[in-house]
A = this chain, B = another copy of it.
Amino acid sequence: MSTAIISNDKMETFEKYESVVRSYSRGWPTVFEKAKGYKIWDVDGKEFIDFFAGAGALNYGHNDDVMQEKLIEYIRNDGILHSLDMGTTPRKMFLEAFQETILTPRNLRYQIMFPGPTGTNSVESALKIARKVTGRDTVISFTNAFHGMTIGSLSVTGNSFKRHGAGVPLHHSVFMPFDEYAEDQDSLVYLERFLEDNGSGVALPAAIILETVQGEGGINAARMEWLRKIETLCKRWDILLIVDDVQAGCGRTGTFFSFEPAGINPDIVCLSKSIGGIGLPMAITLIKPEYDKWGPGEHNGTFRGNNLAFIGATEALRYWETDDFSNEIKASAAFIRRQVDSIIDRFPELKGEARGRGLMQGIAVNVEGLANEICAESFNRGLIIETSGPNDEVVKFLPPLIIDQVGLEKGFEILNQSIKHVLSN
């Protein structure tokens, strides 16, 4: 996200009272008020097409009608809102729906853990249980991985700016090259050598953690073959495989779990962001029964029982009862890929490179600063998009999965105009 400081009267409260850590309100200097589907409006009534979707937390769009009704009804009936990990009706309904709609049809066997309502809580819990059951401390992570901002998750996150923010050295993690990291090199050859060689300096790890598509790291999509090889390696060496599907899961790439096309079966899966359906804080950690070796309360947290989120989550699972939603996402993804290719062709000055898959795509712009300028101009013209990558060099497209053809066309029209404008200055 660009962090250029653009200021105006509307933003005074935020500038005056908030910490300087705030970032999105710098790049998009307005006050947002309403949102529906793939559209957002600010206090002046200006309309924006949303190609950002709450950084992947709004896959089902803003304010789904049915979810809204269910929330309102629950509140009206004095439904219990906050319940830690006590039994409640919405929690029960979510557990059952997730089992029936998601796990059973996919032949997946996982215990469901509520680790606290954010992605980093899920990752921290995954790392803990992997270390506990294996009795090992090292976790292998990949270049440009992003797994969260608390110290455990940050240890397996690649970004140096964010790592430096820890204020302490980060340990117990080893970084290996992600798929296609360096030209003409096979990233798995080294990983394998390090594991098999007693003298490599890298201890047998508790787990390998990965995103199938790295979102913050620059929309880098691993090949299915690479994922399968990683799984094979994990099995050979008795290493747990953790898929952090916080951003790429919940349908973002076209299937509920991003790893489905690879046919792999991770030992632990982290879900958050869109799991709550309507954008409310929620996360779950899926753990194979044989690794679910927690003591009661060994990991806990105050907001593990956000019942409004459970209601949104349960409702969202209806989207996955048939294949229709998945097929629609794939059609939208194909459209976006054509748009991306056309932009790269049309604007050779971008030195553009297509990235990603599903509704998690982007254009790497190999000219310093240009990606941020394009996002800023798009905002002015009514399109919300952000950058990612180690140098903010990728223009990232993450529309809500429910976006229609009209919305996609409108968005890319604004994008094309914005690029043209930026390049002409």
Q: Which of B19, B28, B111, B116 contacts A17 (CB 8 A)?
A: B111
Closest to A273 in B: B302
Q: How far is the CA of A15 from the CA of B165 in the complex (A)?
A: 40
Query: By the criterion CB–CB under 8 Å, are A190 and B177 in contact?
Result: yes
Partner of A95, one of B14, B36, B190: B14
Q: A152-B152, A199-B390 given; name 20 further pairs at CB < 8 Å.
A: A20-B294, A21-B299, A22-B296, A29-B87, A31-B89, A82-B279, A82-B280, A118-B301, A130-B167, A131-B168, A143-B197, A150-B151, A163-B201, A165-B295, A167-B206, A174-B174, A181-B190, A197-B390, A280-B280, A280-B306
29 of the cross-chain contacts (CB-CB < 8 Å) are A11-B87, A18-B111, A21-B113, A21-B299, A21-B300, A24-B85, A25-B87, A35-B80, A62-B78, A72-B76, A82-B278, A119-B302, A120-B301, A124-B150, A130-B167, A131-B167, A137-B167, A141-B201, A143-B197, A148-B301, A149-B299, A157-B201, A169-B171, A175-B194, A175-B202, A177-B193, A183-B189, A198-B390, A280-B306
Residues from chain B with a CB closer than 8 A to the CB of A106 are none
Establish whether residues A296 and B26, one from each chain, have CB atoms under 8 Å apart when the complex forms. Answer: yes
With an 8 A cutoff between CB atoms, is A232 at the interface?
Answer: no
Q: Would B298 and A165 count as touching, CB distance under 8 A?
A: yes
Please tell me if the beta carbons of B113 and A120 are within 8 angstroms of each other in the complex.
Answer: no
**Residue in A17, A125, A190, A306 whose Cβ sees the most chain B Cβ within 10 Å:** A17
Expressed in whole angstroms, the minimum distance between the Cβ of A69 and any Cβ of chain B is 9
This chain: how many copies in the complex?
Answer: 4
Given contacts A88-B33, A152-B151, are A182 and B175 in contact (CB under 8 A)?
A: no
On whether the beta carbons of A160 and B24 are closer than 8 Å, the reply is: no
Q: How far is the CA of A58 from the CA of B121 in the complex (A)?
A: 22
* Also in contact, A300 and B149, with CB within 8 A (given A81-B35, A199-B144): yes
A14 vs B89: C-alpha distance in the bound complex, in angstroms? 11
Q: Which residue of B11, B28, B40, B68 is within 8 Å of A80 (Cβ)?
A: B40
**Smallest beta-carbon distance A385→chain B, Å:** 13
Question: A383 to chain B: closest CB distance in Å?
Answer: 15
Q: Give how many A residues have a beta carbon under 8 Å from the other chain's beta carbons.
A: 156
Q: Is A345 an interface residue (CB 8 A)?
A: no
List the B side residues contacting A89 at CB < 8 Å. Answer: 31-33, 43
Do A199 and B159 touch (CB < 8 A)? yes
- Please state if A143 and B194 are interface contacts (CB–CB under 8 Å): yes
Q: In the complex, which residues of chain B have a beta carbon less than 8 angstroms from the beta carbon of A29? A: 87
Q: With A79-B33, A95-B18 given, is the CB distance from A175 to B200 under 8 Å?
A: yes
**What residues of B have a CB within 8 angstroms of the CB of A127 in the complex?**
167
Asked if A218 CB lies within 8 Å of chain B CBs, one says yes
A182 and B189 contact, CB distance less than 8 A: yes
Tell yes or no: A327 within 8 A of B by CB. no
Q: How far is the CB of A102 from chain B (nearest CB, A)?
A: 11
